[in-house]
Chain A
Amino acid sequence: MSNLIFDIKRYAINDGPGIRTTIFMKGCPLRCVWCHNPESQRPQRQRLFKEQKCIGCLSCVEACPNGLDPRELKDCINCGKCVEECPAIALEMCGKEWGMDELMAVIEKERGVMTGSGGGVTICGGEPLMHPDYLLEILKELGNRGFHRCVDTTLFAPQDVIRKVVANSELLLVDLKHMDADKHKFYTGVSNEIILENIRLAAELGAEFYIRIPLIVGVNADEENIEKSASFLESLPWKTKQVNLLPYHDIGKGKHARMHTTYNPDNIDMREPSKEQLERSAAIFEAHGIHAIIGG
Chain B
Amino acid sequence: MNFALKYPGNDGGMNDRIKRLRNESIETPTTLTIERALIETAFYKENYGKMPLPVLRASNFLEICKKKTIYIGKDELIVGERGPLPKAVPTFPELTCHSVEDLHVLNTRSLQPYLISQEDIDTYEREVIPYWEGKTQRERIFNHVPKEWEEAYHAGVFTEFMEQRAAGHTSMDGKLYREGLLDVKERIAKKIASLDYINDPEATDKNDELTAMSISCDAAIVFAERHAELAEKMAAEETDPQRKAELEKIAEVCHWVPAHAPRDMWEAIQMYWFVHLGTVTELNGWDSMNPGHIDQHLWPFYQKQLAEGTITRDQAKELLSCLWIKFNNQPAPPKVGITAKESGTYNDFTNINIGGVTRDGEDGSNELSYVILEIQEELHELQPGLSIHISEKTPDEFLLAGCRVIRQGFGYPSVFNPDTYTKELMRQGKSREDANEGGCSGCIEVGAFGKEAYLLTGYLNTPKILEITLNNGIDPETGKLIGLQTGDPREFKSFEEVYEAWHKQMVHFVNLKLAVNNYIERMFSLYAPATFLSLYIDDCIEKGRDYYSGGARYNTTYIQCTGLGTITDCFTTIKKHIFEEKKFTMDQMLEALKKNFEGEEKMRQYIRNHTPFFGNDDEYADTIAVRVYEDLIKAIEGRPNTRGGKTYLNMLSTTCHNYFGSVCGATPNGRLAHFAISDGTSPSHGSDCQGPTSVIKSLGKLDQTQSGGTLLNVRFVPALLKRDEDLKKFSSLIREYFKLGGHHIQFNIVDTATLEDAQLHPDNYRDLLVRVAGYSDYFNDMTAQLQNEIIARTENEEL
Residues of A within 8 A of B (CB): 9-15, 18-19, 22, 36, 50, 52, 55, 57, 59, 87-89, 109-110, 112-113, 116-119, 212, 244, 246-247, 249, 251, 253-254, 257, 295-296
Q: Is the CB of B609 within 8 A of A113?
A: no
Q: Which of B764-799 contact A (CB under 8 A)?
A: 769, 771-776, 781-786, 789
A91 to chain B, nearest CB (A): 11
A57 touches B602 (CB 8 A): yes
Asked whether B693 is an interface residue with its Cβ less than 8 Å from the other chain, the reply is yes
Q: What is the interface of chain B, defined by CB distance below 8 A to chain A?
A: 601-606, 609-610, 617, 690-694, 696-697, 720, 723, 726, 728-729, 732-733, 735-736, 739-740, 769, 771-776, 781-786, 789
A12 in contact with B776 given A55-B605, A88-B609, A113-B733 (CB within 8 Å): yes
CA distance A251 to B728 in the complex (A): 27
Closest CB in chain A relative to B446 CB, distance in Å: 24
Give A119 to B785 CA distance when docked, in angstroms. Answer: 32
Who on chain B is nearest to A92 by CB?
B781
- Chain A residue nearest in CB terms to B607: A87
| A-B contact list, 8 entries, CB within 8 Å | A11-B693, A13-B720, A14-B774, A22-B775, A87-B603, A87-B604, A109-B697, A251-B786
Give the distance in Å from the alpha carbon of A113 to the alpha carbon of B606 in the complex: 32
* A244–B610 CA distance with the chains assembled, in angstroms: 39
Q: Are A10 and B694 in contact (CB under 8 A)?
A: yes
Given A11-B776, A116-B736, A254-B786, list of 17 further CB < 8 A pairs?
A11-B691, A13-B720, A13-B726, A19-B729, A36-B773, A57-B602, A57-B605, A87-B609, A88-B609, A110-B693, A112-B740, A116-B739, A117-B729, A117-B736, A118-B732, A246-B774, A249-B772
Pairwise interchain contact B772-A251, C-beta atoms closer than 8 A: yes
Contacts of A244 in B (CB 8 A): 774
**Leading 7 A-B pairs by shortest Cβ distance:** A254-B783, A117-B732, A87-B606, A87-B605, A11-B691, A88-B605, A57-B602
Tell me the total A-B contact number using a CB cutoff of 8 A.
100
Q: Which of B692, B720, B736 contacts A112 (CB 8 A)?
A: B736
Within 8 Å CB of A87, what residues of B?
602-606, 609-610
Q: Give A22 to B691 CA distance when docked, in angstroms.
A: 12
Most chain A CB within a 10 A radius of its CB, from B720, B726, B736, B775:
B775
Query: Which B residues lie within 8 Å of A119 (CB)?
Result: 729
Neighbouring A residues of B736 by C-beta, 8 Å: 112-113, 116-117
Smallest beta-carbon distance A154→chain B, Å: 14
* A116 lies within 8 A of B773 (CB): no
Whether B732 contacts A113 by the Cβ 8 Å rule is yes
- The residue among B610, B720, B729, B784 with the most chain A CB atoms within 10 A of its own CB is B729
Shortest Cβ distance from A214 into B: residue: B774
Distance between Cα atoms of A144 and B723 in the complex (Å): 32
Given A296-B774, A296-B775, verify A11-B786 contact (CB < 8 Å): no
Residues of A within 8 A of B773 (CB): 36, 246-247, 249, 251, 296
Beyond A11-B769, A19-B732, A19-B733, whether A55 also contacts B602 by CB under 8 A is: yes
Nearest residue (CB) in B for A54 is B605
B589 nearest CB across to chain A (Å): 15
Chain B residues with CB below 8 A from A254, complex form:
782-783, 785-786
Give CA–CA (A120, B617) in the complex, Å. Answer: 19
Q: Which residue of A lies closest to B606 (CB)?
A: A87
Closest to A57 in B: B602
Which A residues are in CB contact (< 8 Å) with B740? 112
Most chain A CB inside 10 Å of its own CB: which residue of B603, B604, B696, B736:
B736
C-alpha spacing A110/B771, complex, angstroms: 20
The answer, among A11, A212, A249, for a CB contact under 8 Å with B692, is A11
Measured between alpha carbons, how far is A113 from B734 in the docked complex, in Å? 9
B602, A113: Cβ atoms closer than 8 Å: no
Distance to closest chain B CB from A65 (angstroms): 20
Closest to A249 in B: B773
* Chain A nearest CB, measured from B448 CB (Å): 30
Using Cβ atoms and an 8 Å threshold, which residues of chain A touch B735? 116
Considering the chains assembled together, what is the distance between the CA atoms of A57 and B601 in angstroms?
Answer: 9
A118 to B725, CA, bound (A): 11
List the B residue with the shortest CB-CB distance to A293: B723
A10 engages B693 (CB within 8 Å): yes
Give the Cβ gap from A229 to chain B, nearest Cβ, in Å.
Answer: 17
In the complex the two chains form, what is the Cα distance from A89 to B781 in whole Å?
11
* Contact status B789-A249, CB under 8 Å: yes
- Residues on the B chain within 8 Å of A18, using CB: 729, 732
| Contact with B617, one of A109, A249, A251 (Cβ below 8 angstroms) | A109
- When C-beta atoms are compared, the residue in chain B nearest to A118 turns out to be B732
Q: Across the interface, do A253 and B774 meet the contact criterion of CB distance under 8 Å?
A: no
| Complex contact B776–A257 (CB within 8 A) | no
- Cα distance, A4 to B604, chains bound together (Å): 31
Give the residue name and chain of the A residue nearest to B694 (CB): A10
Q: Which residues of B contact A89 (CB under 8 A)?
A: 609
Least distance between A221 CB and chain B CB atoms (Å): 15
Chain A residues positioned under 8 Å from B733 (CB to CB): 11, 19, 113, 117
Instruction: Assess A253 versus B609: contact at CB under 8 Å? Given A12-B776, A19-B729, A112-B736.
Output: no
Q: A109-B617, A117-B733, A249-B789 are in contact. Are A13 and B776 (CB under 8 A)?
A: yes
A106 CB, nearest partner CB in chain B, Å: 10
A87 to B605, CA, bound (A): 5
Q: How far is the CA of A212 from the CA of B773 in the complex (A)?
A: 13
Q: Are B783 and A253 in contact (CB under 8 A)?
A: yes
Q: Looking at the assembled complex, report how far the CB atom of B235 sits from the nearest CB atom of chain A, in whole angstroms.
A: 55
List the B residue with the shortest CB-CB distance to A246.
B774
A116 to B769, CA, bound (A): 21
CB distance from B638 to the nearest CB of A (A): 33
Shortest Cβ distance from residue A14 to the other chain B in the assembled complex, whole angstroms: 5
Interface centre among A12, A14, A244 (most CB of B within 10 A): A14
Closest residue of A by beta carbon distance from B726: A13
Q: Which residues of A lie under 8 Å from residue B789 when comparing CB positions?
A: 249
Q: Which residue of B has the minimal Cβ distance to A8?
A: B690
Are A15's CB and B602's CB within 8 A? no
- Pick the most buried of A117, A244, A253: most chain B CB atoms within 10 A of its CB: A117
Question: Chain B nearest CB: distance from A22 CB in Å?
Answer: 8
Residues of B within 8 A of A116 (CB): 732, 735-736, 739
Q: Is the CB of A10 within 8 A of B690?
A: yes
Is there an interface contact between A117 and B728, defined as CB atoms closer than 8 Å? Answer: yes
Residues of chain A with a CB closer than 8 A to B728's CB: 117
A46 to B773, CA, bound (A): 25
Quote the shortest CB–CB distance from B48 to chain A (angstroms): 61
Which of A9, A11, A18, A244 gathers the greatest number of chain B CB atoms within 10 Å? Answer: A11
Which residues of the partner chain A approach B696 to less than 8 Å between Cβ atoms?
113
State the CA gap A53–B725 with chains docked (Å).
35
- Chain B residues with Cβ below 8 Å from A212 are 774
Using known A-B contacts A55-B601, A113-B693, A249-B789, determine if residue A13 contacts B729 with beta carbons closer than 8 Å: yes
Closest B residue to A115 by beta carbon equals B736
Residues in A whose Cβ lies below 8 Å from that of B692: 11
CA distance A213 to B110 in the complex (A): 53
CB distance from A209 to the nearest CB of B (A): 16
Q: Is the CB of B783 within 8 A of A52?
A: yes
Given contacts A112-B740, A116-B735, contact A295 B774 (CB under 8 A): yes
Distance of A109 Cα from B729 Cα, bound (Å): 17
CB distance from B717 to the nearest CB of A (A): 12
Contacts A52-B784, A59-B602, A113-B736 hold; do A14 and B775 have CB atoms under 8 A apart? yes
Chain B residues with CB under 8 Å of A246's CB are 773-774
Complex interface: chain B residues within 8 A of A14 (CB): 771, 774-776
Residues in B with CB closer than 8 Å to A52 are 783-784
Minimum Cβ distance to chain A for residue B582 (Å): 15
Give B695's nearest chain A residue, CB to CB.
A11
Complex formed: what's the CA distance from A116 to B736 in Å? 7
Q: How far is the CA of A116 from the CA of B738 in the complex (A)?
A: 11
Q: Chain A contacts of B775 at CB under 8 A?
A: 9, 12, 14-15, 22, 296
Residue of A nearest to B601 (CB): A55
Residues of A contacting B603 with CB < 8 Å? 87
| Residues of chain B with a CB closer than 8 A to A55's CB | 601-602, 605
* Residues of chain B lying within 8 A (CB to CB) of residue A9: 691, 775-776
